[in-house]
């Protein structure tokens, strides 16, 4: 007995190291804050991309071991191994893919969420945390134009949000495994690949996928959609879902959502809208008409870590009929009986509307910046990015670049057709590589109609006009250099 209590005390002495006292907390916190301040002070000068990856090695050279280490040493590993090589997504020079954000108050929200560790899965134990999430989801539902009995879930990102929507749609359309092979989903060539991934995870990998043709601005052709659905019906297949995009990743194309909604209504299809990139542009007066029809959908995905500039780890799925989301995700377990009984008849909990049980308290990282700043600067930032993309597109055209469709949201596609007569695809591949090597801005590429094109996506909140103008200057400069080196090689 005495031996055991003695042992417990010994163990306690060591385990208490997990609870630093106020003085120690201040020491490590100050070191972390100093690190983050140093990062933010220099953010405009730090490269958007660093191709030297040698710093990564220090991580393995600093392994997990029995004894602890000094905070200063760990922060220097972090700087050299993680925060230097590769893409710097916090930089205003991140103009590739769909840029993310990193709002500072979000970091503070995460900090508070982690310190208090509020449980956001079930409303019985975390009524305030769940209510905060529900309030934010209601705000998004209102933006989309959904009715009051819509429901949703804050996810880790757009891919998981699309998966939740696909699973809900599958359940609501009553698809059974025997019929999966006949089930047809309609997408366009521009649909994000995470929808494919979601279909496969949902067991629908063997179902039929129809790629509906797009118009010259890469928008789904609703007439062609309807013909395809009718043809499939006649041949005995089961059309069940159509996926529209509100802002494609490639060029920011917005499908004609109203017309797709009409086709979906006529044929009883589940209408899903992937608005991961473009959805929050609905905050801008200039985009409201463009995005009209989102409210016609049965489910929609938005990514706060894109259009609301949050740090990575924030997606959202909304479903017009909350009950459908519940039917697809609700489970019972005996170890949850007290919790669920206490819940009966009350607000639904995230755990009943999503694949997750225990989860990060994601609401706080969104609530804090949104309420602290108000919506106005978010609206302004989105409109600013849209105008920046148009400016870039117009000026690139004036400077002799071949350009893709005029940007409707904030992505512009361009390419340089070399005067030397060299292969344009290879030339533009070398051009985007040269821009990355330079590092002041980071651009990505894609293939449109079989042609290699360079994309400029303005969505990082730190991207302002100087940086976008700089991106064009760098493109012109590198294109000239490449032309010269090709001429001298010829
Ligand atoms: C980014 C994106 C996704 C995937 O979302 P993640 O948050 O990266 O998982 C899906 N669809 C579109 C249109 C996107 O732009």
Instruction: Give the 3-state secondary structure percentages of the chain, helix then strand then coil, rounded to 5.
Output: 50, 15, 35
First-residue to last-residue Cα distance in the chain? 89
What is the distance between the alpha carbons of residues 172 and 350, in angstroms, rounded to a whole number?
Answer: 19
User: Under 8 Å CB-to-CB from 390, ≥6 apart: which residues?
Assistant: 406, 407, 412
What pLDDT was estimated at residue 155?
98
Q: For 296-318, what is the mean pLDDT?
A: 98
What is the distance between the alpha carbons of residues 137 and 71, in angstroms, rounded to a whole number?
Answer: 38
User: Under 8 Å CB-to-CB from 314, ≥6 apart: which residues?
Assistant: 154, 155, 156, 157, 303, 304, 305, 308, 362, 365, 366
What pLDDT was estimated at residue 274?
98
- Of the pLDDT bands very low, low, confident and very high (cuts 50, 70, 90), residue 1 is low
Which of ligand 1's atoms lies nearest the C-alpha of 275? 13
Beta bridge partners of 153: 317
CA of 278 to the centre of ligand 1 (A): 10
Ligand 1 near 303 CB (within 6 A): yes
Which of the listed residues 153, 192, 196, 244 should we mutate to test ligand 1's pocket, taking the one with most ligand atoms within 8 A of CB?
Answer: 192
Beta bridge partners of 402: 415
Beta bridge partners of 411: 457
CA of 194 to the centre of ligand 1 (A): 7
What is the distance between the alpha carbons of residues 40 and 79, in angstroms, rounded to a whole number?
Answer: 13
pLDDT in tens, 333-365: 787 777 766 666 567 899 999 999 999 999 999
Are 282 and 139 contacting, i.e. CB atoms less than 8 angstroms apart?
Answer: no
CA of 248 to the centre of ligand 1 (A): 9
What pLDDT was estimated at residue 342?
62
CA of 160 to the centre of ligand 1 (A): 9
Average pLDDT, the chain: 96
Ligand 1 near 192 CB (within 6 A): yes
Q: For 109-138, what is the mean pLDDT?
A: 96
Ligand 1 near 276 CB (within 6 A): yes
The residue nearest atom 5 of ligand 1, judged by CA position, is: 158
CA of 341 to the centre of ligand 1 (A): 37
CA of 309 to the centre of ligand 1 (A): 14
Are 162 and 379 contacting, i.e. CB atoms less than 8 angstroms apart?
Answer: no
CA of 481 to the centre of ligand 1 (A): 35
The residue nearest atom 12 of ligand 1, judged by CA position, is: 276
User: Under 8 Å CB-to-CB from 165, ≥6 apart: which residues?
Assistant: 198, 272, 299, 300, 301, 317, 319
Ligand 1 near 249 CB (within 6 A): yes
Ligand 1 near 98 CB (within 6 A): yes
3 state SS for 40-90: HHCCCCCCCEECCCHHHHHHCCCCCCCCCCCHHHHHHHHHHHHCCCEECCC
- Of the pLDDT bands very low, low, confident and very high (cuts 50, 70, 90), residue 216 is very high
Which region among 193-197, 252-256, 327-331, 343-347 has the lowest average model confidence (pLDDT)?
343-347
CA of 192 to the centre of ligand 1 (A): 7
Ligand 1 near 275 CB (within 6 A): no
Which of ligand 1's atoms lies nearest the C-alpha of 312? 7
Which of the listed residues 157, 199, 459 should we mutate to test ligand 1's pocket, taking the one with most ligand atoms within 8 A of CB?
Answer: 157
Count CB neighbours of 166 within 10 A. Answer: 28
CA of 249 to the centre of ligand 1 (A): 8
Ligand 1 near 272 CB (within 6 A): no
Are 273 and 245 contacting, i.e. CB atoms less than 8 angstroms apart?
Answer: yes
309: pLDDT strictly greater than 80:
yes
What pLDDT was estimated at residue 448?
96
The residue nearest atom 2 of ligand 1, judged by CA position, is: 276
- Of the pLDDT bands very low, low, confident and very high (cuts 50, 70, 90), residue 219 is very high
Which of the listed residues 158, 277, 315 should we mutate to test ligand 1's pocket, taking the one with most ligand atoms within 8 A of CB?
Answer: 158
Ligand 1 near 159 CB (within 6 A): yes
What pLDDT was estimated at residue 490?
66
What pLDDT was estimated at residue 486?
82
What pLDDT was estimated at residue 188?
98
Which of ligand 1's atoms lies nearest the C-alpha of 277? 15
Percentage of residues of the chain with pLDDT beyond 70 = 98
Q: List helix spans (H) across 322-375.
A: 322-329, 337-343, 363-373
What pLDDT was estimated at residue 341?
63
- Gyration radius from the chain CA atoms: 25
What pLDDT was estimated at residue 215?
98
**Model's pTM, two decimal places?**
0.97
Ligand 1 near 194 CB (within 6 A): yes
Are 186 and 243 contacting, i.e. CB atoms less than 8 angstroms apart?
Answer: yes
Which of ligand 1's atoms lies nearest the C-alpha of 162? 10
SS3 298: coil
What is the distance between the alpha carbons of residues 289 and 108, in angstroms, rounded to a whole number?
Answer: 35
Cβ burial of 18 (10 Å; 0-12, 13-18, 19+) is: exposed
What is the distance between the alpha carbons of residues 461 and 464, in angstroms, rounded to a whole number?
Answer: 8
Ligand 1 near 158 CB (within 6 A): yes
SS3 464: coil
Percentage of residues of the chain with pLDDT beyond 90 = 94
Which of ligand 1's atoms lies nearest the C-alpha of 245? 13
Ligand 1 near 363 CB (within 6 A): no
User: Under 8 Å CB-to-CB from 201, ≥6 apart: which residues?
Assistant: 163
What is the distance between the alpha carbons of residues 485 and 333, in angstroms, rounded to a whole number?
Answer: 68
Which of the listed residues 274, 291, 410 should we mutate to test ligand 1's pocket, taking the one with most ligand atoms within 8 A of CB?
Answer: 274
What is the distance between the alpha carbons of residues 226 and 14, in angstroms, rounded to a whole number?
Answer: 68
Q: For 196-204, what is the mean pLDDT?
A: 98
């Amino acid at each position: 007995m005495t031996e055991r209590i003695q042992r417990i005390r010994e163990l306690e002495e060591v385990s208490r190291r997990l609870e630093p006292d106020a003085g120690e907390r201040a020491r490590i916190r100050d070191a972390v804050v100093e690190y983050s301040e140093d990062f933010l002070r220099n953010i405009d000068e730090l490269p958007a991309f660093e191709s030297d990856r040698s710093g990564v090695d220090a991580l393995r050279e600093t392994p997990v071991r029995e004894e602890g280490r000094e905070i200063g040493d760990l922060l220097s590993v972090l700087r050299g191994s993680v925060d230097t090589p590769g893409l710097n997504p916090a930089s205003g020079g991140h103009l590739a893919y769909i840029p993310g954000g990193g709002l500072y108050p979000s970091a503070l929200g995460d900090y508070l969420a982690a310190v208090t560790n509020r449980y956001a899965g079930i409303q019985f134990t975390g009524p305030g945390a769940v209510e905060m999430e529900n309030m934010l989801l209601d705000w998004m539902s209102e933006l989309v134009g959904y009715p009051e009995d819509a429901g949703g879930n804050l996810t880790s990102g757009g891919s998981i949000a699309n998966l939740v929507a696909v699973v809900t749609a599958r359940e609501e359309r009553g698809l059974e495994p025997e019929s999966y092979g006949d089930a047809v989903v309609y997408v366009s060539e521009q649909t994000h690949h995470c929808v494919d991934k979601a279909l496969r995870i949902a067991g629908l990998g063997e179902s039929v996928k129809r790629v509906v043709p797009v118009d010259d601005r890469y928008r789904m052709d609703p007439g062609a959609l309807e013909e395809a659905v009718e043809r499939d019906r006649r041949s005995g297949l089961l059309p069940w879902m159509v996926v529209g995009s509100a802002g494609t990743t490639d060029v920011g194309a917005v499908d004609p959502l109203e017309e797709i909604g009409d086709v979906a209504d006529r044929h009883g299809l589940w209408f899903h809208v992937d608005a991961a990139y473009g959805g929050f542009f609905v905050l801008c007066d200039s985009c409201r008409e463009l995005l009209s029809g989102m409210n016609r959908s049965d489910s929609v995905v938005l990514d706060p870590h894109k259009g609301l500039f949050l740090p990575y780890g924030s997606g959202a799925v909304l479903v017009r009929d909350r009950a459908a989301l519940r039917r697809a995700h609700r489970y019972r377990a005996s170890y949850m009986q007290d919790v669920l009984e206490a819940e009966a008849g009350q607000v639904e909990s995230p755990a009943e509307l999503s694949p997750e049980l225990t989860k990060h308290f994601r609401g706080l990282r969104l609530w804090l910046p949104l309420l602290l700043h108000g919506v106005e600067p978010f609206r302004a930032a989105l409109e600013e990015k849209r105008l920046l993309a148009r400016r870039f597109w117009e000026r690139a055209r004036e400077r002799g670049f071949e350009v893709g469709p005029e940007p409707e949201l904030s992505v512009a596609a361009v390419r340089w057709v070399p005067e030397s007569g060299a292969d344009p695809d290879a030339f533009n591949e070398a051009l985007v590589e040269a821009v990355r090597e330079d590092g002041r801005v980071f651009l990505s590429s894609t293939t449109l109609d079989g042609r290699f094109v360079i994309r400029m996506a303005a969505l990082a909140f730190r991207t302002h006009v100087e940086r976008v103008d700089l991106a064009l200057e760098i493109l012109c400069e590198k294109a000239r250099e490449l032309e010269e080196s090709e001429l001298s090689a010829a």
